């Protein structure tokens, strides 16, 4: 008697497409916040709003192109044409982004070099002045209790003016941490008020190019993700999704390696151009595309899946040709619809938590914790390698114990990591690495199993649409969360508040998952 087994080699080939996508998004989420922060001086809430653009677009584009790919029938297959032409378009547009930034970047650098601390004091916000006062009280033992408000203002201003960009440490000139903590935010506010607001043309051009890039990426995300369930029998989708996400992890790690290498070789200061690293990421995406086209024969893989399902008595819709059958919730039993929607709601909240952190990781790590850009990239890369080791075990864990139970473990890990990270500061930043590792480990558990969970009631001709529903939930969360967490950050002038925000979101997710019934349960598979 033969047991149902996953074709690992074929799944790895299919995962090349996902590796290309994750390489792009990892680089995008790391580099774009840095560009918006230093070049245009956007506040955390405005930066979060821009970082949500892709997710707002995805609300419409992912279900649309998922459904279109369901109804596509070519000699390349249903999904492959979208990956091919979408990648080529995205690469052409993406390389234009650093050129759209270049004019504003030169102006921002020139302003930063010419402005002095005396002038910058006018651009220090009240809550930042309070933090500067706390710094003087804590680090230098200064007491303000016997000062009037005017005397306190004059003293803080005088101390701020004295801050130097560089300090001597062991006989060497190094960046002054106090300058980065208190003068740099004033420079960004200065840049925003005097360049971006008065002459918004550069920002508008940059955002327009960014929008075109995101549209190009949105055309093939759902089709690429739908390819795995297309060619994989339903009982094996969690292990298969584990391998797909492992390939995504490889794409992410390669993107971070590119970041580290290019940042190290082309270090040119705070206002250096990122053009070279953009070129390197584009080349990486094209390599993944070429490897995919040489190894994946989509129509043949679909036929092989049909033969396996017939052999093992797995009842699924397996028509290979495009169908115009529409999926309507009203045709499904209410209990299935209820659990499906509850599962999407729970996934929505856990995505809210992780996206709040990931969209601000590069800025928080470099500015609040004092990591260099290449060090922050290295931390992220190590975290992804560490969590990537769990992809395969986690997939088979769900195969054995059920997807829902396994997902709950992942959400609890995320909650613990985010709550702990709130208490980590610059002096204890090594502990942040531990927290970030745990968050990514929990996120691996969630990501590997949530898509197969919501696809349990789909078939070959509807999997693109169901994938679109799944991404509607996750992208809605991703479009809201960076902005919402940025609003809390601006109100409190404390970026670490995003960890409390994320913790609350995970607790809500856990509560909702408790009410999901009939999805993600352990299944028995007969032998052939």
Are 297 and 446 within one domain?
A: yes
Whether residue 1 lies inside any domain: the answer is no
Whether residue 519 lies inside any domain: the answer is no
* pLDDT < 70 positions in the chain: 1-2, 266-268, 315-333, 388, 391-392, 395-396, 398-399, 457-465, 518-528
Per DSSP, the three-state class of 224 is helix
Are 226 and 168 within one domain?
A: no
Whether residue 43 lies inside any domain: the answer is yes
CB–CB of 377/489 below 8 Å? no
- pLDDT for the residue 321: 47
Whether residue 522 lies inside any domain: the answer is no
Are 194 and 214 within one domain?
A: no
CB–CB of 198/99 below 8 Å? no
> Which ranges of 169-236 would DSSP assign to H, the alpha helix?
177-178, 184-191, 201-218, 221-231
Are 159 and 255 within one domain?
A: no
Are 15 and 127 within one domain?
A: no
Are 434 and 470 within one domain?
A: yes
CB–CB of 12/391 below 8 Å? no
pTM of model > 0.85: no
Which domain-ending residue is among 179, 198, 217? 198
Whether residue 528 lies inside any domain: the answer is no
Are 193 and 211 within one domain?
A: no
Burial 369-397 (b: 16+ CB within 10 A, else e): bbbebbbbbbbbbbbbbbbbebbbebbeb
Q: Which 8-state DSSP code applies to residue 75?
A: T
Whether residue 521 lies inside any domain: the answer is no
Whether residue 181 lies inside any domain: the answer is yes
Are 294 and 236 within one domain?
A: yes
Which domain-ending residue is among 144, 179, 198? 198
Structural domain that includes position 131: 119-198
Whether residue 111 lies inside any domain: the answer is no
Are 274 and 400 within one domain?
A: yes
- pLDDT for the residue 289: 96
**What's phi and psi for 175, nearest 5 deg?**
-60, 135
CATH code of the domain in which 19 resides? 1.20.1250.20
Measured CA distances, 343 to 339, 351, 408, 461 (Å): 6, 12, 12, 22
pLDDT tens for residues 313-350? Answer: 776 544 444 444 555 656 666 777 788 788 889 999 99
Are 275 and 412 within one domain?
A: yes
- pLDDT for the residue 457: 66
Are 128 and 249 within one domain?
A: no
- pLDDT for the residue 524: 53
Which domain-ending residue is among 198, 215, 243? 198
pLDDT tens for residues 53-102? Answer: 777 787 778 778 887 888 888 899 889 999 999 999 999 999 999 999 99
Rounded to whole angstroms, how far apart are CA atoms 373 and 360? 13
Tokens of 90: 């995205």
- pLDDT for the residue 395: 64
- pLDDT for the residue 320: 44
Q: How many domains does the chain have?
A: 2
Are 395 and 299 within one domain?
A: yes
């Amino acid at each position: 008697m033969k047991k149902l087994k996953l074709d690992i080699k074929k799944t790895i080939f299919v995962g090349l497409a996902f590796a290309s996508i994750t390489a792009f998004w990892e680089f995008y989420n790391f580099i774009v916040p840095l560009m918006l922060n230093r070049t245009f001086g956007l506040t955390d809430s405005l930066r979060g709003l821009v970082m949500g653009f892709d997710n707002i677009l995805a609300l419409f584009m992912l279900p649309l192109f998922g459904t279109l790919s369901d109804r596509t029938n070519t000699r390349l297959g249903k999904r492959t044409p979208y990956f091919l032409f979408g990648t080529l378009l995205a690469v052409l547009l993406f390389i234009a982004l650093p050129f759209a930034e270049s004019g504003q970047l030169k102006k921002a650098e020139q302003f930063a070099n010419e402005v002095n601390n005396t002038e910058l004091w006018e651009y220090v916000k009240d809550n930042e002045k309070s933090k500067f006062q706390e710094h003087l009280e804590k680090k230098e033992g200064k007491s303000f209790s016997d000062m009037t408000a005017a005397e306190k203002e004059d003293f803080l201003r005088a101390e701020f003016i004295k801050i130097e960009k560089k300090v001597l440490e062991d006989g060497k000139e190094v960046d002054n941490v106090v300058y980065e903590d208190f003068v740099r935010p004033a420079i960004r506010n200065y840049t925003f008020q005097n360049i971006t607001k008065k002459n918004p043309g550069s920002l508008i051009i940059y955002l327009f190019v960014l929008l075109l890039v995101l549209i190009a990426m949105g055309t093939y995300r759902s089709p690429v993700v739908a390819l795995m369930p297309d060619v994989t029998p339903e009982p094996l989708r969690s292990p298969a999704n584990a391998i797909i996400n492992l390939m995504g992890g490889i794409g992410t790690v390669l993107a971070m390696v590119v970041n580290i290498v290019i940042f190290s070789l082309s270090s040119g200061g705070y206002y250096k151009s990122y053009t070279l690293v953009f070129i390197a990421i584009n080349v990486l995406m094209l390599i993944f595309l070429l490897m995919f086209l040489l190894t994946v024969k989509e129509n043949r893989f679909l036929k092989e899946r049909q033969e396996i399902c017939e052999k093992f008595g797995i009842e699924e819709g397996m028509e290979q040709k495009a169908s115009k059958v529409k999926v309507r919730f009203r045709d499904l039993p209410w209990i299935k619809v209820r659990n499906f929607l509850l599962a999407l709601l729970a996934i929505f909240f856990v995505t809210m938590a992780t996206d709040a952190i990931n969209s601000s990781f590069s800025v928080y790590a470099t500015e609040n914790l004092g990591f260099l850009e290449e060090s922050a990239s290295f931390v992220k890369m190590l975290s992804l390698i560490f969590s990537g080791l769990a992809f395969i075990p986690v997939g088979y864990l769900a195969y054995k114990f059920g997807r829902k139970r396994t997902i709950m473990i992942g959400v609890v890990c995320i909650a613990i990591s985010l709550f702990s990270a709130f208490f980590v500061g610059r002096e204890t930043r090594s502990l942040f690495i531990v927290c970030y590792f745990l968050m990514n480990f929990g996120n691996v558990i969630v990501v590997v199993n949530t898509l197969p969970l919501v696809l349990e009631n789909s078939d070959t001709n509807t999997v693109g649409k169901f994938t679109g529903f799944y991404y509607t939930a996750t992208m809605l969360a991703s479009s809201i969360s960076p902005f919402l967490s940025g609003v809390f950050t601006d109100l409190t002038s404390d970026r670490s508040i995003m960890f409390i925000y994320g913790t609350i979101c995970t607790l809500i997710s856990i509560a909702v998952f408790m009410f999901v019934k009939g999805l993600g349960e352990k299944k028995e598979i007969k032998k052939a």
